[in-house]
Amino acid sequence: MMETKWAYLIHLLAWTLPVIAFQLVVLVRHYKERSGAVLKAVLPPALIVGLYLGIADHLAISTGIWNFGEGKHLGVYLGVVPLEEVLFFLITSVLVSLGLALFTALVALLGEARAS
């Protein structure tokens, strides 16, 4: 296990960036010229949800519901929330939103295949 202040960020990016890259490739290949419009529809709500979760985390940390151990993150905070935690909420929301867009595309493809 990695015991540095970079641990949280490295682990977060190591598991999320490949999945996001895969999702984007599939999304662009499926939606083609509409992929820009799909991203414009999907990303703003994801960012709003990520921001909401960051605010909820801020409230939980500031009231003592939970905390983060020292030395496991960079020490950069947005309010009282470590930067990595804010990134976690934003990235997770993007993963879910892109996944929903791809799931919707899959359902449409399956519907078209049945109709054929």
Sign (positive or negative) of CA dihedral 56, 60, 66, 72: positive
Q: Residue 83 has what pLDDT? A: 93
Q: Residue 1 has what pLDDT? A: 54
Q: Residue 41 has what pLDDT? A: 92
Q: The whole model's pTM is what?
A: 0.85
Q: Residue 24 has what pLDDT? A: 93
CA–CA separation, 81 and 13 (whole Å): 18
Q: Residue 63 has what pLDDT? A: 94
CB proximity list for 78: less than 8 A, separation 6 or greater: 54, 58, 86
Taking the chain (116 residues) in runs of 10, the rounded mean pLDDT of each run is 80 94 92 91 94 95 86 87 94 95 86 78
Q: Residue 57 has what pLDDT? A: 95
